[in-house]
Structure 1
C-alpha cells in the first residue's frame, strides 16, 4: 500500500500487505492503513503551509455565498 491523492501526489514509501490475511477477510476496513494515512496527513500539512490566506473581504464574500447556498438548499427541501 501507499498513500495517494487525486492531485497526483503519491507517497514515496510503500507498506506491505499480508496477502494471507487479505484472502481470509474481504473487509477493506479490516486492514491497518495508518501508515499510508500518516504519509497523506504529512502531505496535507505541507500543502496547508503553502496556502495563501484570502483577504478578509473576499473571505467574507465567500461566507455570504455559502450561507445563501445553504438557505437555498433548505428551501428546496421544503
Structure 2
C-alpha cells in the first residue's frame, strides 16, 4: 500500500479508547485518512520477505453519505504479482524430487478428504507428523549449519536463503530456531 507521495507508511493505528494497547494494521482499508492515518493512494504486491511489486495500482476513492470507500480495489492485480514472485522464489529454491512432492501432495489430499468424516483421526496423524517432522527439520538444520560453518566451500548465506526461499537476513536465525527444535 502506498500513500500519495509513493511511500509505504508504517502501520495504521486505531485507538480503542481505553488502556495502553492500540490496534495496528497494515491492511490497506485502514488507510482511509481517518483517525490520523494517511489515505491510501495505490496498492502494490508485497511479501514478508521484503519484496515489493514494481507496479502500483491506483485506488479510486468515492464518498457516499460522508463515508469514503473504494469500489473496485485492484487486489487481484496485486495477488497476481505476488504469485509471480512466489513462482520465482520456488524456481530458485532447493529442488524437491518429483516423487517426494507427489507423495506429500497425496498425503495432504488423503488427510483433507478424511477430515470431514474423522477429524480426530486427522488431528492425531497431523500431530504425529508434526513431532516427526520437527526431528527431521532439526537434524537437517544442524547439518546445514555445520556445513556452512565447518567448510571453506560451504554454502553462503545467500545460497542457503535462496534454496529455502527466505530473506538472507532471516535465514541464520531461522536455521538456529529449527536446530533448537522451535
In structure 1, the residue matched to 2:68 is 23
In structure 2, relative to structure 1, the CA distance for the partners of 1:68 and 1:45 (3 Å cut) is closer
Q: Does 1:35 align with 2:77?
A: yes
Secondary structure at the residue paired with 1:3? coil
Instruction: Give the aligned partner of residue 9 of structure 1.
Output: 51
Give the length in aligned residue pairs. 57
Match among 129, 143, 149 for residue 67 of structure 1: 129
Cα deviation code 1:16-41 (max 9, x no counterpart): 1011168146xxxx734110110001
RMSD: 3.1
TM-score, normalising length: structure 2: 0.27
Match of 2:164 in 1: none
Q: Structure 1, unaligned stretches of length 5 or more?
A: 56-64, 71-78
Offset from partner CA, 1:18-67 (integer Å, 9 cap, x none): 11168146xxxx73411011000100000000111358xxxxxxxxx961
Structure with greater helix share of residues = 1
Unaligned runs of 5+ in 2: 1-42, 98-126, 133-182
Moved >4 Å (runs of 4+): none
